[in-house]
Structure 1
């Protein structure tokens, strides 16, 4: 694997590939001198050595002495080289021609695009993972690079071409985890076919209680202690370690042990306000104020009472009596000089009602005009709002999280200091209440109804701002569920532990974007079959989407027979036709207002026989994935010689 970049995402990605997937990694960082001016040295001193130290700390072990890595030892687990630009010579030296995958995770989109075009020309079969924020540009780039691979190598396997190019955004990949933090209090989530799934820890049930199995049981924990939001950083030292993917009989026989179950994340907040997502209609409550609505209602009742009285006293036709009353109210009827006393009194009362109606009509016109003028402006939080999520920051990450929360029908109030921020147009289009101001100033969080909120997501680009807002919100509402974005992972861990100790009854999650995004980028480098990975104590459980064809452990067997305890388990079946299947089940759905019916069927019938054309979602251990892929026989291959290893 080759990783090109020099920020926290590149460091975490290299560590993820090395530690989780046991892959050899070459990291290319910017800097140094041109290749032609080098004297055979791959690294230019201190900067690369610093990166090696960071990678060593991230991996959690010392893989090799620094000198062997710096000299470019081919057996090194993590090799680092420094180059001023990603030209053809640098990519060749990094091993792109023979690598399995190349990740381009620079902050500059143009640099990533140029390097991707060069890498595709060098190796048509290279799996490319590119970091871009622009979704539309990413889709066009995927099609272009896949077409280039098809033209350069007509004999490429279609299944291999399907995962040849993947364009990801770190903002898109972390949005599901951050949204789940606000909804469910955990970042242990996997996204599949637009559905958000979480691994929830359950305490052992009591004697008269029935355990909720969720979609399926993923693991038996080694300890009975648990964190309601998902224990983060748990370090169990029990003699009996966690048991991944236990059999049903083993789960039933286990007593006194907590479990990890898979369940879908859904909204638990109040219903949305009358204005739906993407709707251009303005509700009556926004058009007319409450006092004005009561005034109009009172006048309507008065006119109705006058019409009934006119019908009673004049003995005229009800419709004619109502007509005369309206004329009197509008002062366009003739004076009732020759009429009865009752008719005269009614006309005077109707004229008085008309005088009261005039200022009401003027007020309604002014309010309606003001409402329509401000229809394109940001909405203010309504007075009765409660149970919502307060989202701080509408930058790249905040914009994606906002779209994801509204897709899940979660009420949101945004706070943004810059009126020209990236996510402000989206908030305006969706009708999301937004408070403009510095969140560290007094009164801003109160304007966002923080006292009645269910969660706070602090996602600004400033660590100190996020921490200050979190501490202030906790002082206002100690049990508020909080998720805050912090750049440095070690700082995030320290903040999490401190807040958990200070507020043990509240759910706190502190995460860096690079830590949350790295597993998705690593999964894409392993192939689109990897949907995500969830830690269970000190072990890793992987979620993968595989085609049944060529896997003798799956093809022709029932769902129950394909279950291998401790190795893999079929948890979902893709019912879409092969031509209509979603290319990447883990991709974040673009927010365009369209509703797509999910194709995955969770908890498939145990007696269903898996066919060659089926695609399944597996919960699988790292060792089980290796065994399953090692035994894979590609279509057209004969015998073990065709095994794809």
Structure 2
């Protein structure tokens, strides 16, 4: 029988891959003691379909395998083996068994928002000092829930000193966390912008400088991109961490100077964010007058109009002394068959009257069709648009679920043309596509002609983000048969399968760029750093790795205290970026919080242009960029077996 966890451990409750990867992240990177609560396979098997039971069994098996592999790879004595609990639901009894009353943090990452909310309310009652990290898709509800749970913590523990005990509640969405990286993968050369409440950090990817040119380092160079970033055969296209080639995070000056032909990620600007701005409306609302009539109907109307004008001119010429307006008036009377027969008129006038009557017979059906089509357009003004003719250079987005919806919003914010493909007309992202007037094809992507309707043969990239690995793979293979050099981004669940697919597509299509991405792999680091406390300001994805930004007090960190800015830098691990010069009593307890809205002036204390010889004092607070392993070494209560203080050496 497993022993109960010690005080200060981490608890993860979930039912999918995010729980699995989050637990592995806490155990292997931060060396924390972890308790994982997964759904009971027997309870799930009681459902009519039994699919939940099979999913729970598979999750439990994968989790146990990951934990065993991580424990074998970790140094002896670094962290005890994680324990796994099975329960039908994360109710109060289950949370007590998991040790929530003694835990430091709890992550609720079930795919169901209601389940996470119920568990969060119960956990806050059990332990007001607990750090809560909750997975919610509804962002507005998440903001209200954060305020409610933080207020409940303050009421339950009125004497709690929040400067020494972090009882924060953080609501995250895996879709929101992964969407920027997925969107950036499909569009080369976009800037990485991370909005971490009160701070706005902007990192820019820069291409290698030409011969004789000197690259602008900005405030500092955060990373060197893979040497094969723009090479279709590059190793950075998969989420597999075992690949040898990859980006270099936080390189030293010598490494940056010696790197030729490699792009960089540069910290360009850092500024305080103002009040939340109203999002810019991407498209004008109103009736689509430009799409009332089909092209065939417009050509028919144009031809008949030209015919009527020609008859009017002929009448003007045939009748001597007639005024042009009178000739046009006679033509219209003849056209609608309301004029007297031209019995006593010349033969030319009689022939023109017959031709006008014939044109009228042709004009009336076209006019009726125009009226009916216009009425149908008014009735379906909010209907989904079809991809326009001649469209090219766009992104084909497959799947409008939680992830696809967020990625669609990000792509449109960057003004990138998108065509969506979705099988379910009632999918979560269909209303967003309708509101943004994004062309959408409703149909099964595996059916012939669906991808052709999305103009994939003229597209810039394909993003296959459905929930089915096989559907995403089939769509990518078929799209590559239509356009061999198409950029393809696949969302794949299984890591081994993703690596195999990536390598096979790379070998079969060396002229095309292929990327395989896992949403849980992209989102897990953000959830993990939130569990470590509010000192985490944000994260920036660099290819398949993540660079973290944190605020730390220098006191208690021998790697920083008493060292100069230059000496405290450890290449590949951490780098001090800014110094909070405000007096300790005037500092915000949480740098990620927005400035007060009551008009109280808060002294700005962050200095970014630091002298390399400044000696860090215990009372200082610094903002630094760090890798996950580097930050774990700085924050970990269990130090690594091997440590090095020399500047420029890797831990």
Scaled by the length of structure 1, what TM-score is found? 0.69
What residue number does 1:24 align with?
33
| Structure 1: gaps spanning 5 or more residues | 35-44, 66-73, 265-275, 554-559, 586-602, 609-614, 631-645
Partner deviation per Cα, 1:136-155 (whole Å, 9 max, x = no partner): 43333223212211211234
Worse-superposed segment, 327-336 or 514-523: 327-336
The whole-number CA distance in structure 2 between the counterparts of 1:196 and 1:288 is: 47
Give the secondary-structure state (helix, strand or coil) at the position aligned to 1:435: strand
Asked if the contact 2:128/2:152 (under 8 Å) is kept, the reply is: yes
For 1:14, the equivalent position in structure 2 comes to 23
CA distance in 2, matches of 1:109, 1:495: 32
Distance (whole Å) between structure 2 residues aligned to residue 315 and residue 335 of structure 1: 17
Q: How does 1:58-207 map to 2 (within 5 A)?
A: 61=73, 76=80, 78-156=82-160, 164-184=168-188, 191-192=194-195, 200=205, 205-207=209-211
Task: Work out whether residues 218 and 259 of structure 1, in 8 Å CA contact, stay in contact via their aligned partners in 2.
Answer: no
Give distance in 1, aligned partners of 2:569 and 2:411: 36
Matched-pair contact (CA < 8 Å) for 1:391–1:414: yes
Rounded to whole Å, the distance in 1 between the matches of 2:387 and 2:360 is 36
The residue correspondences of 1:433-512 to structure 2 (distance < 5 A) are 433-512=439-518
Maintained 8 Å contact 2:421/2:440: yes
- Report the alpha carbon displacement of residue 314 of structure 1 after superposing the two structures with TM: 6.7
Segments of structure 2 that go 5 or more residues without pairing to the other structure are 1-9, 44-56, 269-280, 559-564, 581-587, 596-605, 612-620, 637-651
Structure 1 distance, partners of 2:463, 2:543, is: 25
1:481 CA displacement: 1.0
- Report if aligned partners of 1:336, 1:347 keep a CA contact under 8 Å in 2: no
1:157-184: per-residue Cα shift (whole Å, max 9, x none)? 5678997112223233222222222223
Q: Give 1:285 shift.
A: 3.5
User: 1:293-328, CA deviations, whole angstroms, 9 ceiling, x for partnerless residues?
Assistant: 455556767888969997999798xxxx75884586
Q: Is the 8 A contact 1:11 1:58 kept in 2?
A: no
Q: CA deviation at 1:393?
A: 1.9
1:532 paired to 2:531: no
CA shift in 2, pair 1:392/1:616, >3 Å: farther
Alpha-carbon distance, 1:31 to partner: 3.5
Q: In the TM superposition, what is the alpha-carbon distance from 1:606 to its structure 2 partner?
A: 4.3
* Residue 68 of structure 1: aligned partner: none
CA distance in 2: counterparts of 1:180 and 1:46, whole angstroms:
32
Contact 2:189 2:205 in 1 (8 A): no
**Corresponding residue number in structure 2 for 1:522:** 528
Alignment of 1:129-528 (within 5 A): 129-156=133-160, 164-184=168-188, 191-192=194-195, 200=205, 205-211=209-215, 216-220=220-224, 224-228=227-231, 231-232=236-237, 233=240, 242=248, 244-247=250-253, 250=254, 253-256=257-260, 258-262=262-266, 277=282, 279-294=284-299, 296=301, 325=328, 329=332, 358-528=364-534
Distance 2:382 2:440 in 1: 13
SS at match of 2:100: coil
Compared CA separation, residues 216 and 236, structure 1 to 2 (3 A): farther
Cα separation, 1, equivalents of 2:391 and 2:167: 45
Counterparts of 2:316 and 2:161, CA distance in 1: 87
Distance 1:371 1:144 in 2: 46
Structure 1 residues 374, 84: CA separation in 2 closer, same or farther (over 3 Å shift)?
closer
- Matched-pair contact (CA < 8 Å) for 2:28–2:70: no
**Structure 1 residues 172 and 541 mapped into 2: Cα distance closer, same or farther (>3 Å)?**
closer
Question: Shift of the alpha carbon at 1:346?
Answer: 14
TM-score by length of 2: 0.69
Seen in structure 2, the aligned counterparts of structure 1 residues 542 and 47 have a Cα distance that, compared at 3 Å, is: closer
Give the drift of 1:107. 2.9
Take 1:335 and 1:329, find their aligned partners in 2: how far apart are those partners?
A: 12
CA RMSD of aligned residues (A): 5.3
Q: How does 1:551-590 map to 2 (within 5 A)?
A: 566=571, 567-570=574-577
Please say which of residues 115-124 and 301-310 is displaced more in the overlay.
301-310
SS at match of 2:73: coil
For 1:186-240, what per-residue CA distance to the aligned partner results, in whole angstroms no more than 9, with x for missing partners? 9x9664369997775855x45345546578521347x8554548724587879x9
Measure, in 2, the Cα distance between the counterparts of 1:52 and 1:23: 16
The reply to whether residue 57 of structure 1 matches residue 66 of structure 2 is: no
